[in-house]
Amino acid sequence: MPALDIDIEIMKKVYDVNVFGVIRTTQVFSQLVIAAQGTIVIIGSIAGIMPYVFGSTVPSLPCLAPHLKQLL
């Protein structure tokens, strides 16, 4: 779907799950992961590097994965 046609409320829900959900989950489990000397793995997608036609919401999400892991 072209970006001009996206329902912003749907896009907000997608971002809430795929971006803010990662941050919330990491915050909740961070102390356990640190105590266990574990690792947090964030998986992205090639769509963040090679966007596809009419894929305006989904390709923007994987672009954030490398940045999230550095910020956390």
Tell me the domain boundaries of the chain: 6-71
Structure tokens at 27: 């915050």
Q: What is the pLDDT of residues 10-60, one digit of tens each?
A: 888 888 888 888 889 989 999 999 999 998 887 777 766 676 666 666 666
If we measure between CA atoms, which residue out of 54, 53, 47 comes closest to residue 64?
Answer: 47
Write down the pLDDT at residue 34.
93
The pLDDT value given to residue 43: 76
Q: What is the pLDDT of residue 53?
A: 67
Spell out where 1-72 has E strands.
Answer: none
Tell me the per-residue pLDDT of 46-69, one tens digit each, with 9 for 90 and over. 766 676 666 666 666 666 766 776
pLDDT of the residue at 18: 80
